[in-house]
C-alpha cells in the first residue's frame, strides 16, 4: 500500500469514528507554544488538549527531551557532565569517547544514510563545512569584504572526510575519530532525527495528536481538532521576491515534511548567493535546485534525504525516491519549474 492509499484509509476510519463518537465528549481546544533556544532555530508545537495545564505538560515534555538531544548533538559547546559531538571532535586522533546511546544511534543511522546515498550526505565532512561556516559568517557580518574559501583549502580539508575513520564501538559505547583532522558535522540529519525521537517519546507518553516543527523539520502525529482533520503544512517558497510565501499546503497525518533550500544560511559574494548545502563532490554549494522537499513517516530519514537529493541531478534523485517505499519528493529548479515524484501531488491540499 502506498503512502496516499494509507492516507485515504485513515480518512475513512476517522469518518467512522466521528459518526460513532458520543456528543457528550468534551471538545478539546487548540494550543501552541514556541521556543528559540534549541538547535539554533525556532521550535513550534501545536496540539489540541483538554486544558491549558495538559498542553503545558506536553510542551514541557517536548522541550525537555529536545533540549537533551540539542546538547548531545551540539558541535560548538561543552556541557557539564555530557560528552557530545564536540567532545568527540576535540578528541579526534587522541582517544575514544564514551557517549550516550542516543549519539551512537544517530551516528549509526548517519553511516547507513551515507551508504544509501552513495556519499551525498556525509557527517564526516565537518572539516570542509567548518571552512564554509567561517567564510559565511564573515561574509554575513562584513558583506563588503565577503569572499569564497580557496579551493586548495577545501581540497586539503576534504582529505579528512573518510567516514570509515569514524569508529563506533557499540559494546563499550565509545566513538573515536582515527583521523586527528577529521570533524563530525551532523547538521544535515540531527534536527530531523531528534524531531522523530522526541515525537515518539511524546506518543509513548500518551500524546497522539500534535504537530511539531523544529526549524522546518515538521512531524505530524494523528489529527487536529474535534473534526479529526488532517494537519495542514506549507512548503516555503524559495523565491524571496515572490508575494506567495508558500508553494503548496499539504494535508498530512503521521507523516514528516522536511525541506532544504538555498534560502537558508547563505551569504552573497559579487552578487551571487552561496548557501550552506555543500556538494561533497565539488565542495561548493549545490546548484541543481533552489529547494527540495521530502514527505515520509520518519523525520530523520526525511532530513537525510532532503540533503541527499539536493546534491543529485533531478533524474538521479527521482530514481532514488521511486526506489524507496512510502517516500515522496518535490524539486524546485533554478528557473522556478516544479517537479514531483509519482504520488506527491496527491498530498497537496485541495
Please state the residue numbers annotated as binding site for Mg(2+): 188, 303, 307
* CA neighbor of 68 nearest in space, from 170, 190, 168, 162: 190
**C-alpha to C-alpha distance for 239 and 275, rounded to whole angstroms:** 14
* CA neighbor of 344 nearest in space, from 325, 328, 331, 332: 328
Q: How far is CA 147 from the centre of its chain?
A: 28
Q: Which three cell numbers stand for residue 346?
A: 496527491
* CA neighbor of 188 nearest in space, from 334, 56, 328, 286: 286
CA angle 341-346-350, nearest 5°?
140
Per the DSSP assignment, residues forming a β-bridge with 258 are 294
Q: Name 316's Cβ contacts closer than 8 Å, sequence gap at least 6.
A: none
**Residue 86: half-sphere exposure toward Cβ, Cα within 13 Å:** 11
Number of helices (H) and strands (E) in the chain: give both, helices first: 9, 15
**C-alpha to C-alpha distance for 287 and 331, rounded to whole angstroms:** 12
Residues that constitute the known binding site: 188, 303, 307
Per the DSSP assignment, residues forming a β-bridge with 213 are 44, 218
Instruction: Kindly give the residue spans of alpha helices, DSSP state H, lying in the chain.
Output: 3-20, 52-73, 85-90, 101-116, 126-141, 151-158, 190-204, 299-310, 314-323
For 256, phi then psi, to 5°, come to -115, 150
* CA neighbor of 188 nearest in space, from 315, 100, 273, 292: 292
Burial of 90 (0-12, 13-18, 19+ CB in 10 A): middle
Amino acid at each position: 500500500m502506498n503512502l496516499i492509499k494509507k492516507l485515504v484509509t485513515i480518512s475513512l476510519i476517522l469518518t467512522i469514528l466521528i459518526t460513532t463518537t458520543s456528543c457528550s465528549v468534551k471538545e478539546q481546544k487548540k494550543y501552541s507554544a514556541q521556543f528559540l533556544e534549541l538547535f539554533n532555530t525556532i521550535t513550534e508545537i501545536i496540539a489540541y488538549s483538554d486544558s491549558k495545564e495538559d498542553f503545558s505538560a506536553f510542551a514541557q515534555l517536548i522541550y525537555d527531551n529536545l533540549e537533551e538531544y540539542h546538547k548531545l548533538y551540539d558541535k560548538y559547546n561543552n556541557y557539564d557532565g555530557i560528552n557530545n559531538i564536540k567532545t568527540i571532535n576535540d578528541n579526534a586522533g587522541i582517544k575514544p569517547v564514551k557517549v550516550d546511546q542516543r549519539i551512537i544511534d544517530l551516528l549509526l543511522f548517519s553511516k547507513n544514510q551515507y551508504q544509501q546515498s552513495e556519499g551525498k550526505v556525509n557527517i564526516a565532512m565537518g572539516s570542509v563545512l567548518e571552512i564554509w561556516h567561517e567564510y559565511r559568517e564573515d561574509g554575513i557580518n562584513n558583506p563588503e569584504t565577503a569572499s569564497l574559501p580557496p579551493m586548495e583549502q577545501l581540497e586539503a580539508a576534504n582529505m579528512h572526510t573518510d567516514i570509515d575513520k569514524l569508529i563506533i564501538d557499540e559494546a563499550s559505547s565509545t566513538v573515536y575519530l582515527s583521523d586527528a583532522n577529521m570533524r563530525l558535522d551532523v547538521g544535515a540529519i540531527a534536527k530531523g532525527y531528534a524531531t522523530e525521537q522526541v515525537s515518539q517519546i511524546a506518543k509513548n507518553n500518551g500524546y497522539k495528536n500534535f504537530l511539531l516543527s523544529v526549524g522546518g523539520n515538521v512531524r505530524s502525529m494523528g489529527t487536529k481538532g474535534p473534526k479529526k482533520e488532517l494537519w495542514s503544512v506549507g512548503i516555503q517558497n524559495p523565491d524571496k521576491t515572490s508575494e506567495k510565501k508558500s508553494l503548496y499546503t499539504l494535508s498530512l497525518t503521521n507523516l514528516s515534511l522536511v525541506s532544504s533550500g538555498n534560502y537558508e544560511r547563505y551569504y552573497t559574494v559579487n552578487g551571487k548567493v552561496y548557501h550552506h548545502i555543500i556538494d561533497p563532490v565539488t565542495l561548493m554549494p549545490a546548484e541543481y535546485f533552489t529547494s527540495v522537499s521530502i514527505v515520509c513517516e520518519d523525520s530523520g530519514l526525511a532530513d537525510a534525504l532532503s540533503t541527499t537529493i539536493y546534491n543529485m541531478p533531478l533524474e538521479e534523485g527521482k530514481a532514488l525516491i521511486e526506489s524507496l517505499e512510502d517516500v515522496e519528493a518535490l524539486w524546485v529548479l533554478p528557473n522556478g519549474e516544479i517537479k514531483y515524484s509519482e504520488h506527491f501531488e496527491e498530498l497537496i491540499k485541495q
